[in-house]
Each structure stands twice: as structure tokens, then as C-alpha cells.
Chains A and B, each alone.
Chain A
């Protein structure tokens, strides 16, 4: 049976909530579904690996800052995170590092999709900027469609 897990990654700082808000939007769209688990993670570091277990399909949504226009949605390929796993620091252990470690351990789920939402400002306490809010809705719709 297909077990889908959708993980929004972020922090409570402005646009960095993008991943969480996609999860909120999906929860509203999908309602309760036995085959889909939704979770919001706060900078999980290596703890992300535990969330990849027991799922056949994992969808990750995180904020990215690559210089593109805020609100740009990018599907990140395996080649991208393989090449960009960083220094494996304890303070900066990012999603790419966690995925590279999961791959080395043979712990990646059979299907994995990673979406990046290009963000603007990430000030603690701020809400999403309009461009990112629109991107959140668009990405939630896209992910919901893919689950039909």
C-alpha cells in the first residue's frame, strides 16, 4: 500500500514558514486520508532521517534562497542535493546533508520529491510575503493533484 508522507520544513521566521504553510494548505485540501501523513518540521537537521522511514513516497517542501524571484517553485533533483551536501556541521546540518546521509545508509524512501520555494524576507515574527503566499497555494494545489 502506498504510504505518502509530506514534510514541510521551516522555522517561524517570515518566508521561512513556506514549507509549513504548504502543509497547512494541503491539510485543508486533502482532509483526513489514511494514506497521507502530513508533518511540519522545525529545522530537523539529522532528525529528518527518522521522518523518512516507513513511507513509500515522501514529499519535502523547504524554503530556498538561490537568487531567483521570491515565489519561484523549483523541484530539486537528486543530482542537486548529492552535489550540494554541505559540510555536515552540527549547526548547519541541512536538508541536503540529511538526504545524502540517508542515501548512504540506504534509508531513502522508494520515491522522493523535494520542492524548494524561493523566499524573500525571513524575519522572526513576520508573516509570508505576498509572492511566497501565492507560491504556497500553487505548490499545495500541484502536490494535491499529484496525489489524486
Chain B
């Protein structure tokens, strides 16, 4: 019974897209990591089966159920894929509103993650409730921003939980101009709040971290990629959504029901930091100046910059939505009619947590033959394990179990995985032989 032979197992009860279970298994032996496995229960696998035989007009509402936090990402990706297959050109109105709608989800999801999930770690707090006691103004500001994101989702989706606005070809309905104007004023008014959030996030002392990883994110010719763009990697890759399969491989691992994804045989990072790393030249000038002023110059190799990257993307999404909604008019028709055809539809967008890729094989009647959905969390799974391994070695394996657990939690939460469950999501059971 010595320190070097102890077995540490960390359990992560998962509240993923639907109920499920996940765990982190960590075994230390001989002063080294004998085993480190992140196990994720990944319900979208079931959704792919549910989708078979469904008509194309049902898909946006079905895939919205995959995630309660990022339903827009699933809806917009599916719609984009099918619209491409059906050769339908969205009206300029619908194109702009899709992006504005998506901005709402970024604002909502990022605000929630920063304030309720990630930030407590950096202030020595066990929960957002504890953080609220020592930093009430910051938490209130975060909740206001989150509420604004929800309001933007609600504007186009009729509700922020599993919104129902998107249809193939556009939207089911256009919000009234007065409502849009009122919300736009709130978005503009919130920009100083988002700037204050960026400054607050930048002032948080971060653990030293310097990792060599590949960033994968979308890039667009002239703007920050959200709902449109090609897939790029930090090694220079640039491909369309239809070529994803040729470069990214999904593989099963017996310990996880989520698939792992590799790029050229290596783990890779998706998400806000990957996006910023690949797109610093696509940031609006004001945001670029602000980031330069606080001394944040992506690309960054410090994974803990993910929180700051989220804060920067909140500012960007507020600014972008306000721009898109300026001069808003109710269109003659919020959608363009579509004509189904048989073929393979692929699409990708940047979900709050990173690249989301869909592939649908459709029949001539507009029904799904088969579907594949690759969510960001499964793509990040291998990267999280790699990060945990590096971080634990840097942190020191001889630390007490509680300290190891906390550090693992902090590292995992940083990715905002869709196992973003409790602030205390690692249960530590120590078994000593």
C-alpha cells in the first residue's frame, strides 16, 4: 500500500444531451499514469437512427432535441446541408437572420458556461452560488447577457428551449419589426457589458499552460465563421463540408459510447479557442483593438484562454446580431420553397462548443435514408484526454486526490463539453491496493 500503487478513479455522472453517464478513469501506478480514459455517453448516435425515414421538413425540429443548450446549431446545420442538396438559395433576409439567430445561441451558451460553470474554478469557488457571493456584479452581468441571448433565440424560434423557427428554405415566420427594433437596442446597449466581461475575464490569473495542438475551425472569406464557411486547420487544411470524411476519422473505443475523432491520426481542438486561433484576422476591428489592448493575441497555446475566447465571442455575437438586425424589414416570404431530390447532403457550422458536421443521405421523396451527426464534444474527446494527461503530469501526480480531482475538473470544464453537468461532476473514489 504505497502512494505509487494507488488507484484513483474519477466518476463523471453525465447530463449530456439526454440522460446518460460518463466517467473519467484514472489509474496511477509507479508514479505514472497507467490509464486515463474519458468516457462519454453520446446520445446523438440514437438520433441518427431516429431520423431514418423522416421527412426533410421534420428534421429541424427533431435535431433541435439533441441539445437543450445548442439546438440552433443542430437546426441550422441540418437546414444548411439540405438546402445545399436541394439547390435552394436562401433569400438575403433568411441568410442574415440565420446568422443573427445563431448569434443568440452563442451569447446564451457562452454566458452560461463562463459564469455558471467555468469561472467558479478560477476563483476557488465550488459553485456559481459561491461565486455569486464574492462576485455578484459579474454573475449578474453574465445572467443579463445570457438572458439577452435567450431573447434573441426566442425572437426567431418562438422559445429558447428547442426553438421551432427554422424550416428548410428559411424560417417559418418573420418576427415583427417593432420587436426586432426593441431587441436590437438591447443588443447595442449590452456591448459595454460584453467589453467589461472581456476585461474581467482577461484579469483572471490563469495557470501556466503551453500545449502543442491542432486547431480545427471554420473559416469564411470575409467574416468570422459561424453558420457558413469552409473547414480549416492550423496546419493549413482548407476543405468544404463534403470533404470532411476524407480528412477526419471517427473511431470507436470500447470504454465510450461517444465516437472519437482524429485528424491525420492525431487529436485536435474544436471550439472558441480553435476559432480564435484560426480567425484573428476575421474579428471586427473594435474587438481586435480591445483584445490587443488587454494583451491577448491569438493564436494561443494556453487552453485556459478558452474562457476569454468565449467572452470575446460574446462581444462579437452581440455586435454581429446588432449589425444584421439594423434596418430590419419583414420580408414578403420568410422562406423559399424547396423541391426534394435524392442525394447526399453535408453541412457544417460552428456550434458554441465547436465544429458540428451533419451528413444525410436522402431519397427522392425527401426522406432520410441515413444520417450522421458529428458533434463538437466527441471531436474534442481525444484532445481532452491528451490535455488531461499533460496537465496532470505538469500539476504533479503526487498531489492529494482532491487536488487531482479539482484540477481534472477544471481542465475538462474548460472545453465546455456537452457533459457540462455539475460543478462537482467528478466523484473521486480512491482504491489502494
By a beta-carbon cutoff of 8 Å, the part of chain A in contact with chain B is 11, 42-43, 45-47, 49-50, 85-93, 97, 100-101, 104-107
Contact = CB atoms under 8 A, between A and B. Distances in A.
A49 B143 contact: yes
B258 to A, nearest CB: 16
Interface of B: 15-17, 68-69, 109, 112-113, 116-117, 127-130, 132-133, 136, 139-140, 143-144, 146-147, 150, 159-161, 420-425
B127 A88 contact: yes
Nearest to B137: A105
A91 B421 contact: yes
Contact of A87 (B130, B132, B161, B424): B424
Contacts of A91: 15-17, 68-69, 420-421
A85 B150 contact: no
A45 to B, nearest CB: 8
Contacts of B132: 101, 104-105
Given A43-B161, A47-B147, A91-B68, A100 B129 contact: yes
A90 B109 CA distance: 9
A49 B143 CA distance: 8
Contact of A90 (B112, B130, B133): B112
B143 A85 contact: no
Contact of B112 (A42, A46, A50, A107): A46
B128 A101 contact: yes
Contacts of A101: 128-129, 132, 139
A88 B422 contact: yes
Given A93-B116, A105-B136, A88 B423 contact: yes
A106 B139 CA distance: 12
B161 A42 contact: yes
A11 B425 CA distance: 26
Choose among B117, B127, B140 the residue with the greatest number of A CB atoms under 10 Å from its CB. B127
12 contacts: A47-B146, A47-B160, A50-B144, A88-B116, A88-B129, A89-B420, A90-B69, A101-B132, A105-B132, A105-B136, A105-B139, A106-B136
B140 A86 contact: no
A139 B424 CA distance: 36
A86 B130 CA distance: 13
Nearest to A11: B161
A121 B129 CA distance: 32
A97 B421 CA distance: 13
A83 to B, nearest CB: 13
A39 to B, nearest CB: 13
B136 A90 contact: no
Contact of B113 (A11, A50, A90, A100): A90
Contacts of A92: 15, 421
Given A47-B146, A47-B150, A105-B139, A90 B129 contact: no
Given A42-B160, A101-B139, A105-B140, 19 more contacts: A11-B161, A43-B161, A46-B116, A46-B146, A47-B147, A87-B424, A87-B425, A88-B117, A88-B127, A88-B422, A90-B113, A90-B116, A90-B420, A91-B421, A93-B116, A97-B129, A101-B129, A104-B130, A105-B136
